[in-house]
Structure 1
Amino acid sequence: MEKKKLITGIVTGIVGLALVGTVAYLYVNLDNQKKENKAMQELAELDKKEMENEYQQFATQYSEMKTQISNDSIIAQLTAEQEKTERLLKELKDTKSNDAREIARLKRELATVRAVLRSYVIEIDSLNRLNQNLTAENSRIKGQYNEATRQIEGLNSERASLSEKVAIAAQLDATGISMQLKNKKGKKTDKTSKCKTVQVNFTIAKNVTASNGTKTFYVRITSPSGTTLSGGGTFNYQNRSLEATMRKAVEYDGRETTISTFWNVSQSLMAGTYQVSVFADGNMIGSRSFSFK
């Protein structure tokens, strides 16, 4: 009888210890999940705010351009594009930052708005150049030197304003972002435990208004726990210094360019969702999340 009680006591103790261990594991796991969710939410809020700022900038640029031309047809087109931009801005403001599908749709719309604005900047700049040449020629023929001088000064002022708008239109776009885990044989794997190298690929879209030359692209990978995979140095973004996972200097000539970056695993990777963001010229030019086992 006493032996039976002893066995029962031992079993009860083992079960109790198992329950205590399970509770402790669940508590630690819940705390890590909260940290992960907070980090991803902060990055999503930052991304959404930057998108709102860009939409507002583009709407303002359309409004300003309408005051610098007299072509009724182009003014009507600019008005339509401005109204579309303001509508998309309102949709973005009404969208929660954790609505990934809607945010992705509005980010694609933002890229379209930027491309359309770019085309109008180029078109209006060409019209202004043509007007300047015609005005100068007409002035020489009629001998109205003073009037021609005032018109040329006005066009120079408009061109200076348009140069500021070209800077906005010249912002690069990173598309087709992908993240792959490679094992020690260099083959693709979905398991973080077997990962030895992380490869991130992306394509810089064609941009004829962007300045040519050597550009440094920074890739920042945030782990499920909210920490940044380090190794790529630091860069400036919105008046603060951020840590990069990888960086690569590329000679950019305005044409579509595909870029690959690699990061050798120097720390244990956990399963979960990783956020990949690409930066260049002080701007976030693309972002996407990936989940691994």
Structure 2
Amino acid sequence: MEKNTEKPSSNKLMYVIGAVALLVIAVLLYLFISNKQQYQAVVEEMTEEKIILTEEFQSLALDYDSLHSNNDTLNLQLEQEREKITHLIEEIKTIKATNAKKIREYKKELSTLRGVMRNFVVQIDSLNRRNEELVQENIQYRKEHDKITQSYKELEKVKEKLDKKVEIASQLETRNMELTGLNSRGNDTKKIRSISKIRMCCTIEENVTATVGMKTVYIRILRPDEALLMTSADNLFEYEGEEINFSASREFEYGGEDVYVCVFYPVADGELLKGVYVVDVFVDGFNIGTGSFELK
């Protein structure tokens, strides 16, 4: 009887122990599953954080790419920062999402780089403003330069006009021109076969604006057939920018007052023709008088 009583008690104990064990296993399994789910959620959260961090670095890289400057030193610094960001992006891709320490370090670096970029933006804005000021100053300078140049050109035109007026005003003029043929005795004659010289005499008038001093008067005598009478093809003087031949010349002193001058042309045998001769008088490169006479 005693043997039967002890056996049920032993079985009951075994049931209790088994139940406790099952309960412990169930609790442990629940805790394991719960912790695993929490861990998985943490990993997913950190993975998302890593992705966001990578995107922020990439966005920062694009912001740096948009920065441009005309300053070589500043451009070099920008390029160094771009390379640094590219290197950090590659590093972030290789670390584990669960490496919280590294993630924090990269976040801190991201904040620092953003601060550096803001400083670059301020510098570039300052340089751009200064460049714009220089551009405006250059435009203003060009306007002033163009204005001065235009004024100079206008003054040159005025000067040219004044010089022309002075030149015209200083041009000498003649009056009382006398043209005649002379025989060998120095007497006036209009007979061709008797003429040995042609004489041109005139009064060069007073002109207070003309230069004074020694001058040369040139004459050109055209025959009725418009051939120029001349003693040598080397007898040249300047008129209207060209060298032209003259028939005869003579030096005289001009003092600004009326001066009477005569010029003689020696006639060669058979050189003259019957008809009207035209004589032009030149001084200082100007034609100062024209006359004519007839030979028979």
Q: If the length of structure 2 is used for normalisation, what is the TM-score? A: 0.46
Q: Which structure would you say has the larger Rg?
A: 2
